[in-house]
């Protein structure tokens, strides 16, 4: 136990230090690759060991609780320092507030700690650890060639990569800490580590815009930190302990825990960039793409949904739970609506993340066995597909120097494989039999009894199809006869893209068994397992999704369609229809006076309806009202 915890949490910290100290490209790359391998291996080794509880007494001879106290205050001091440096009063005030609350908790309430189980790993933690270690590591690997290109492009003289990879690896360690910690003081520490890491990564490029966005991320997440620590103090005052498993399963009186739970949910919403805190995640895309990929898929935003899923059993049947459903469904709809209005590829991805996380929160709020299953499925597949799409966009961006969707028209002829993988990523986002759609299907069936929930989810779902389909379509938009030359990319880039796309597809096929072996135990005794598994068909009393048969049919259909493509390469390739006056150029027609005119068509972004300037203010107001309901309902 000790070894595996050490491997998952401490080793990334050590490797991070290694990246910082050895400032040579080759050594750094080796350290990252070794660390990635250790994390992936370690996460797999975890599988046979769960569930387990582990409380280290000391770490290299020092009491671990004292280490934690020191690290906590050091962390807040660092955040305070950045508050001073960037002259941000909110950050300063919030870090002082957190330090005071923490000091009160540590020195006046608690007697030095040590009664609560420090680490606890069950199937839910395991699923998250696997996501963090495998997907997070793949992203770090892809970052090696990416950052080299990035710095070459920006013409940076002294490489800042040591600092970059220091934080990236630190982030992975911190994330593992979040999902493994059971003593909520430890959880809070790792929670703050991820806040600080994201701040450092967003500000990495040190441009004015990067710094501004990083500071925004820090103060918004500090609000979450403050809510978190307030919840802890409240819990400790009332219950005299901060042992997560104990708190959830002994479920004292609902009246006592509802407010701290609402505060923890609030902290989760800030972490997961739900409205009205979305702007920090949108601002985060100024950072190099691997950072976005990491923040959006396997780390940071997943902290929020993990935390709410963790406490979900304790709030079953409460009004708070219903409020979370409505809030989540609202975010799902609002995020999708804003994504429709965007032509910036990274912004589409960002809003789609916010929207999907909203759906996960909505599921956690519905809080039935089906809904929790849906939430976990969505977490897994969203992580894979979103990481894939971010890495695709990053690769495309380095190639065409634009992240605008309109500039990706006919990308297929320039970067065939990357474009195909991107389309594949989009398909895994919206189509059956892939995992995200499976999750959405479960979510809808579970939420059908929630009136506001189902209406908003239905609308959001249709908007989601719209913004993905048009993106996939224009990647292919060019006359094309079926012969292409593969583009050249670094090996690690291909490795990341191909492994993630294959992962998204193959995990979908085995999703019924993921459900059986991972999700049912993850729900434990809190929820009765709902779906029966038969020949890869998931079925419960009111719904049925034939995952495996449909996958086989899909493979079959795909093969037929591919054969059709092969057949089509023999057919006559004609120019697109331009009213009979087309020339030999695909986009050019003969206009008046025999002059050539270029015919242009752009996507509908409907910015008069779905534009940011039009919607954001209203959505923020709506979200604040709903958040007030979440917290106010708990008072």
Partner 1 sequence: MSNTIIAIIIGFLVAPLVGGLISGLDRIITARLQGRIGPPVWQAFYDVIKLMSKESMVVNVWQAFCAYAYVSAAAIAVVLFFLKSDLLLILFIQAVGAVFLVVGALSSTSPYSQVGAHRELLQILAYEPLIILVIAGIYLETGSFKISAIYDWNQPLIFKLPFLFVALGYALTIKLRKSPFDLSTSHHGHQELVKGVLTDYSGPYLALIEIGHWYDVVLLLGFCSLFWATGAVGMLALLALTYFAEILIDNVTARMTWRWMLGYVWAMGFTLCSVNLIWVILG
Q: Measured from the CB of residue 531, what is the shortest distance to partner 1 in angstroms? A: 12
The residues pairing with 344 across neighbouring beta strands, listed in sequence order, are 404
Q: Are 208 and 283 contacting, i.e. CB atoms less than 8 angstroms apart?
A: no
SS3 373: helix
The conformation of residue 243, written as its DSSP 8-state character, comes to: B
Task: Choose between 485 and 570: whose C-beta lies nearer to partner 1.
Answer: 570
Locate 584 and state its tokens. Answer: 């030999």
Task: Choose between 491 and 574: whose C-beta lies nearer to partner 1.
Answer: 574
Locate 90 and state its tokens. Answer: 């909110």
> Looking at the chain, how many residues does it have?
635
Q: Are 279 and 236 contacting, i.e. CB atoms less than 8 angstroms apart?
A: no
The conformation of residue 487, written as its DSSP 8-state character, comes to: P
Query: Dihedral, CA atoms, 417, 295, 285, 387, nearest 10 degrees?
Result: 10
Q: Are 544 and 534 contacting, i.e. CB atoms less than 8 angstroms apart?
A: no
Cβ-Cβ contacts under 8 Å for 40 (sequence gap 6 or more): 133, 134, 137
Q: Measured from the CB of residue 442, what is the shortest distance to partner 1 in angstroms? A: 10
Task: Choose between 86 and 614: whose C-beta lies nearer to partner 1.
Answer: 614
Residues of the shown chain interacting with partner 1 in the complex, contacts defined by CB under 8 A: 409-410, 412, 430-432, 437, 441, 444-445, 448-449, 451, 454-455, 457-459, 461-463, 465-466, 469-470, 472-474, 476-482, 541-546, 550, 553, 557, 560-562, 564-565, 567-579, 586-587, 599-601, 603-604
Q: Measured from the CB of residue 407, what is the shortest distance to partner 1 in angstroms? A: 15
| Whole-angstrom distance, CA of residue 390 vs CA of residue 136 | 13
Q: Are 123 and 50 contacting, i.e. CB atoms less than 8 angstroms apart?
A: yes
**Which helix (H) or strand (E) segment is 630 a member of?**
helix 612-634
Neighbours of 246 (CB within 10 A): 16
Q: Are 180 and 173 contacting, i.e. CB atoms less than 8 angstroms apart?
A: no
Cβ-Cβ contacts under 8 Å for 613 (sequence gap 6 or more): none
Q: Measured from the CB of residue 440, what is the shortest distance to partner 1 in angstroms? A: 8
| Whole-angstrom distance, CA of residue 596 vs CA of residue 592 | 8
Task: Choose between 295 and 475: whose C-beta lies nearer to partner 1.
Answer: 475
| Whole-angstrom distance, CA of residue 411 vs CA of residue 475 | 5
Which single residue is written with the structure tokens 């709030």? 315
Q: 481 φ, ψ to 5°?
A: -100, 0
Task: Choose between 208 and 600: whose C-beta lies nearer to partner 1.
Answer: 600
Tell me how many degrees the CA angle 174-177-181 measures, rounded to the nearest 5: 150
Neighbours of 241 (CB within 10 A): 17
Q: Measured from the CB of residue 159, what is the shortest distance to partner 1 in angstroms? A: 41
Task: Choose between 223 and 459: whose C-beta lies nearer to partner 1.
Answer: 459
Q: Measured from the CB of residue 431, what is the shortest distance to partner 1 in angstroms? A: 5
Task: Choose between 491 and 564: whose C-beta lies nearer to partner 1.
Answer: 564
Q: Measured from the CB of residue 535, what is the shortest distance to partner 1 in angstroms? A: 13
Locate 114 and state its tokens. Answer: 């040590």
Task: Choose between 96 and 597: whose C-beta lies nearer to partner 1.
Answer: 597
Query: Beta strands 544-545 and 119-121: pairing type?
Result: unpaired
Q: Measured from the CB of residue 483, what is the shortest distance to partner 1 in angstroms? A: 10
Task: Choose between 259 and 420: whose C-beta lies nearer to partner 1.
Answer: 420
Reference 365, options 303, 314, 320; nearest CA is: 320
Reference 55, options 104, 13, 116, 14; nearest CA is: 116
Q: Measured from the CB of residue 328, what is the shortest distance to partner 1 in angstroms? A: 17
Q: Measured from the CB of residue 438, what is the shortest distance to partner 1 in angstroms? A: 9
Can you say how many angstroms the Cα of residue 568 is from the centroid of all Cα atoms in its chain? 39
Q: Measured from the CB of residue 51, what is the shortest distance to partner 1 in angstroms? A: 33
Task: Choose between 149 and 540: whose C-beta lies nearer to partner 1.
Answer: 540
Q: Measured from the CB of residue 518, what is the shortest distance to partner 1 in angstroms? A: 22
Q: Measured from the CB of residue 398, what is the shortest distance to partner 1 in angstroms? A: 25
Q: Measured from the CB of residue 459, what is the shortest distance to partner 1 in angstroms? A: 5
Task: Choose between 154 and 573: whose C-beta lies nearer to partner 1.
Answer: 573
Task: Choose between 93 and 575: whose C-beta lies nearer to partner 1.
Answer: 575
Task: Choose between 513 and 605: whose C-beta lies nearer to partner 1.
Answer: 605
Q: Measured from the CB of residue 373, what is the shortest distance to partner 1 in angstroms? A: 15
Reference 91, options 276, 188, 226, 267; nearest CA is: 226
Could you write out the DSSP letters of every residue in 302-318? HHHHHHHHHHGGGGTTS
Q: Are 613 and 341 contacting, i.e. CB atoms less than 8 angstroms apart?
A: no
Task: Choose between 152 and 573: whose C-beta lies nearer to partner 1.
Answer: 573
Which single residue is written with the structure tokens 């290299």? 60
Q: Are 301 and 358 contacting, i.e. CB atoms less than 8 angstroms apart?
A: no
Task: Choose between 473 and 632: whose C-beta lies nearer to partner 1.
Answer: 473
């Amino acid at each position: 136990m000790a070894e595996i915890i050490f491997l998952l949490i401490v080793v990334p910290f050590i490797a991070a230090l290694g990246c910082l100290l050895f400032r040579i490209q080759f050594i750094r790359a080796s350290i990252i690759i070794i660390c990635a391998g250790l994390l992936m291996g370690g996460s797999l080794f975890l599988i046979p060991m769960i569930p387990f509880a582990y409380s280290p007494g000391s770490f290299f001879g020092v009491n671990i609780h004292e280490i934690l106290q020191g690290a906590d205050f050091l962390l807040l001091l660092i955040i305070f320092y950045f508050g001073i440096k960037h002259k941000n009063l909110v950050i300063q005030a919030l870090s002082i507030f957190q330090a005071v609350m923490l000091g009160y908790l540590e020195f006046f309430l608690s007697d030095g700690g040590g009664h609560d189980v420090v680490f606890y790993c069950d199937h839910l933690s395991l699923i998250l650890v696997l996501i963090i270690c495998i997907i997070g590591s793949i992203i770090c690997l892809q970052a090696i060639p990416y950052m080299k290109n990035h710095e070459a492009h920006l013409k940076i003289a002294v490489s800042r990569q040591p600092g970059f990879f220091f934080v990236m690896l630190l982030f992975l360690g911190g994330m593992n800490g979040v999902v493994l910690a059971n003593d909520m003081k430890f959880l809070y520490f790792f929670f703050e580590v991820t806040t600080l890491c994201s701040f450092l990564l967003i500000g990495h490029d040190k441009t004015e815009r990067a710094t501004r966005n990083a500071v925004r991320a820090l103060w918004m997440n500090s609000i979450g930190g403050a809510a978190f620590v307030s919840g802890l103090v409240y819990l400790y005052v009332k219950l005299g302990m901060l042992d997560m498993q104990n708190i959830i399963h002994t479920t004292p009186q609902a009246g006592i825990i509802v407010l701290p739970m609402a505060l923890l949910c609030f902290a989760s919403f800030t972490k997961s960039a739900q409205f009205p805190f979305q702007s920090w995640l949108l601002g985060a895309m100024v950072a190099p793409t691997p950072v976005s990929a990491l923040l959006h898929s396997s780390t940071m935003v997943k902290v929020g949904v993990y935390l709410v899923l963790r406490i979900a059993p304790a709030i079953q049947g409460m009004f708070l739970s219903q409020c979370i459903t409505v809030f989540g469904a609202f975010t799902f709809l609002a995020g999708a609506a804003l994504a429709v209005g965007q032509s910036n590829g990274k912004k589409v991805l960002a809003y789609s993340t916010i929207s999907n996380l909203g759906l996960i929160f909505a599921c956690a709020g519905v809080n039935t066995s089906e809904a929790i299953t849906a939430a976990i499925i969505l977490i897994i597949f969203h992580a894979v597909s979103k990481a894939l799409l971010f890495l695709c966009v990053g690769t495309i961006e380095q190639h065409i120097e634009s992240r605008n969707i309109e500039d990706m028209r006919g990308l297929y002829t320039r970067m065939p494989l990357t474009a195909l993988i991107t389309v594949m990523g989009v398909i895994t986002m919206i189509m059956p039999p892939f995992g995200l759609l499976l999750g959405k299907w479960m979510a809808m069936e579970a939420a059908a009894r929630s009136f506001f929930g189902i209406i908003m989810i239905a609308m959001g779902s249709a908007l989601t199809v719209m913004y993905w389909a048009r993106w996939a379509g224009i990647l292919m938009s060019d006359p094309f006869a079926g012969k292409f030359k593969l583009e050249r990319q670094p090996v690690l880039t291909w490795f990341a893209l191909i492994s993630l796309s294959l992962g998204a597809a193959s995990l979908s096929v085995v999703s019924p068994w993921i459900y059986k072996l991972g999700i049912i135990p993850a729900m434990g005794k809190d929820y009765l397992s709902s779906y029966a598994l038969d020949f890869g068909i998931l079925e419960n009393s009111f719904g049925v999704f034939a995952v495996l048969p449909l996958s086989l049919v899909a493979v079959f259909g795909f093969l037929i369609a591919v054969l059709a493509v092969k057949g089509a390469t023999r057919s006559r390739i004609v120019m697109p229809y331009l009213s009979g006056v087309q020339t030999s150029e695909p986009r050019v027609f003969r206009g008046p006076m025999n002059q050539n005119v270029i015919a242009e068509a752009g996507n509908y972004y409907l910015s008069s309806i779905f534009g940011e300037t039009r919607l954001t203010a209203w959505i923020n107001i709506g979200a604040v009202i709903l958040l007030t309901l979440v917290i106010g309902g708990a008072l």
